[in-house]
């Protein structure tokens, strides 16, 4: 903890320099992975996370939705892929999934994966059997955030424990899936809490492949609607220290990005953030946020990270044959034996 707190307190230029050095050792410094998020079941969540407009404990005026139909999810996933996303994340506001819902979700995973996208889900707490079912369906990532430090956690959520969260992450790992786990800053926590959150994440063995660092979006009706703003420089420090502690993880600039200035986002990339979310309303090219992101990428010389598609031997063979068939039809092959 002392070492992490010392990193957070470094002179800003020194901290960014160290983060950038580490970032360049493990990643293309100008590539940013793009994920798209779709809420497949919104609102009426029984949990009481004080920052969340989807909690049924607070009146935020958010509409409640049933689980989205598979076809609609696949349509959105296809649009996300065509807009440049390499990973499609699906989130449901549940404490944990019921088996009848999980059956539908498993089919979603299969069909989204068939589009050539990486898949990620966040469905609440999982037991070992649920994690195995998701892994068998081909789910690549499971998102389950630790949110904040163990010490501050009780101020934010009372309906599940820190231990519950670590247990779910353990089930995800045991099932062989990759982990997406991070937290939220700007909840009124101290700098020591931010250090303790990063410590918890960095001590996961192995470390999470994706680490979303969210900036609280204050929503009217939630208990945190009037909490003091976190200074953007402290947000950047958190990103930089996440990069240093978890050198091989994708550090994701997540919620709160829409409210951030270009300068803050640019500093976050410099500090080692190398992944962003595009929300579900951002799927058309005419969308202003998507256009703004493209303009910022151009300005900074950034480019979307290309995904390495992992295919089984069988799938590879099928793709190869299909590619040869296409080329044959294009009459690009000639008979070299004649």
Q: Which stretch binds ligand SF4 (CB under 6 A): 43-51, 99-107, 181-189, 295-303?
A: 43-51
Place of tokens 């220290």: 241
How far apart are CB 100 and ligand SF4 at their closest, in Å? 19
Q: Considering the complex, state which of residue 168 and residue 274 has its C-beta at the smaller distance from ligand SF4.
A: 168
H helix count then E strand count, the chain: 12, 10
* 120 labelled binding-site residue: yes
* 89 labelled binding-site residue: yes
Q: Considering the complex, state which of residue 79 and residue 255 has its C-beta at the smaller distance from ligand SF4.
A: 255
Task: Give dist(CA 117, CA 104) in Å, integer.
Answer: 18
**According to CB under 6 A, which one of 38, 47, 79, 238 is a site residue for ligand SF4?**
47
- Our finding on whether 185 is near ligand SF4 (CB under 6 A) is no
| Continuous H helices in 148-190 | 150-156, 162-174
310 is an active site residue:
no
How far apart are CB 126 and ligand SF4 at their closest, in Å? 13
Task: Give dist(CA 231, CA 185) in Å, integer.
Answer: 10
Q: How many angstroms separate the Cα of 223 from the Cα of each of 51, 96, 180?
A: 7, 23, 26
Task: Give dist(CA 12, CA 142) in Å, integer.
Answer: 33
* 310 labelled binding-site residue: no
- State phi, psi for 250 to the nearest 5 degrees: -80, 120
Task: Give dist(CA 112, CA 130) in Å, integer.
Answer: 19
Question: Is-contact 123 96, C-beta < 8 A?
Answer: yes
* 307 labelled binding-site residue: no
- Our finding on whether 80 is near ligand SF4 (CB under 6 A) is no
How far apart are CB 93 and ligand SF4 at their closest, in Å? 4
Consecutive H or E run containing 24: helix 12-26
Q: Considering the complex, state which of residue 187 and residue 240 has its C-beta at the smaller distance from ligand SF4.
A: 187
Q: Considering the complex, state which of residue 115 and residue 227 has its C-beta at the smaller distance from ligand SF4.
A: 227
**According to CB under 6 A, which one of 55, 168, 214, 274 is a site residue for ligand SF4?**
55
Question: Is-contact 222 55, C-beta < 8 A?
Answer: yes
- Our finding on whether 52 is near ligand SF4 (CB under 6 A) is yes
Provide the pairing of β-strand 183-185 with 210-215.
parallel
Q: Which residue in the list 18, 180, 237, 257 is annotated as catalytic?
A: 180
- Our finding on whether 214 is near ligand SF4 (CB under 6 A) is no
Eight-class DSSP state of 280: G
Least Cα distance to 105 among 40, 175, 162 occurs for 40
How far apart are CB 259 and ligand SF4 at their closest, in Å? 18
Compute how many residues bind ligand SF4; rule: CB under 6 A. 8
- Our finding on whether 86 is near ligand SF4 (CB under 6 A) is no
Q: Please enumerate, by residue number, every residue annotated as part of a binding site for [2Fe-2S] cluster.
A: 89, 120, 180, 252
* Residues classed as catalytic: 45, 49, 52, 89, 120, 180, 252
Residues that bind ligand SF4 (CB under 6 A): 45, 47, 49, 52, 54-55, 93, 124
């Amino acid at each position: 903890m002392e070492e992490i707190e010392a990193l957070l307190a470094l002179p800003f230029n020194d901290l960014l320099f160290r983060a950038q050095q580490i970032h360049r050792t493990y990643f293309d410094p100008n590539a940013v992975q793009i994920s798209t998020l779709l809420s497949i079941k919104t609102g009426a969540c029984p949990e009481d996370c004080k920052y969340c407009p989807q909690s049924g404990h607070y009146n935020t005026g958010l509409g409640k939705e049933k689980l989205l139909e598979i076809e609609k999810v696949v349509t959105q996933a296809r649009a996300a892929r065509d807009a440049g996303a390499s990973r499609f994340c699906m989130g449901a506001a549940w404490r944990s999934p019921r088996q009848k819902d999980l059956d539908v979700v498993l089919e979603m995973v299969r069909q989204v994966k068939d589009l050539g996208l990486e898949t990620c889900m966040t469905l609440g707490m999982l037991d070992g059997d649920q994690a195995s079912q998701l892994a068998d369906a081909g789910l690549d990532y499971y998102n389950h955030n630790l949110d904040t430090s163990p010490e501050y956690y009780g101020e934010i959520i009372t309906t599940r424990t820190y231990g519950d969260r670590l247990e779910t992450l353990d089930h995800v790992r045991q099932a062989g899936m990759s982990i997406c786990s991070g937290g939220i800053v700007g909840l009124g926590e101290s700098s020591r809490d931010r250090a303790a959150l990063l410590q918890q994440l960095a001590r996961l063995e192995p470390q999470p492949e994706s680490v979303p660092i969210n900036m609280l979006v204050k929503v009217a009706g939630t208990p945190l609607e009037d909490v003091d703003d976190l200074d953007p420089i402290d947000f950047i420090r958190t990103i930089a220290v996440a990069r240093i502690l978890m050198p091989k993880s994708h550090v994701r600039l997540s919620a709160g990005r829409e409210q951030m200035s270009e300068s803050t986002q640019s500093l976050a990339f410099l500090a080692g953030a190398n992944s962003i979310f595009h929300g579900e309303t951002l799927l058309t090219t005419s969308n202003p946020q998507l256009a703004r992101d493209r303009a910022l990428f151009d300005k900074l010389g950034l480019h979307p990270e290309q995904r390495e598609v992992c295919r089984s031997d069988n799938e590879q063979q099928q793709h190869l044959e299909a590619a040869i068939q296409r080329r044959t039809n294009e009459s690009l092959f000639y008979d070299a034996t004649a």
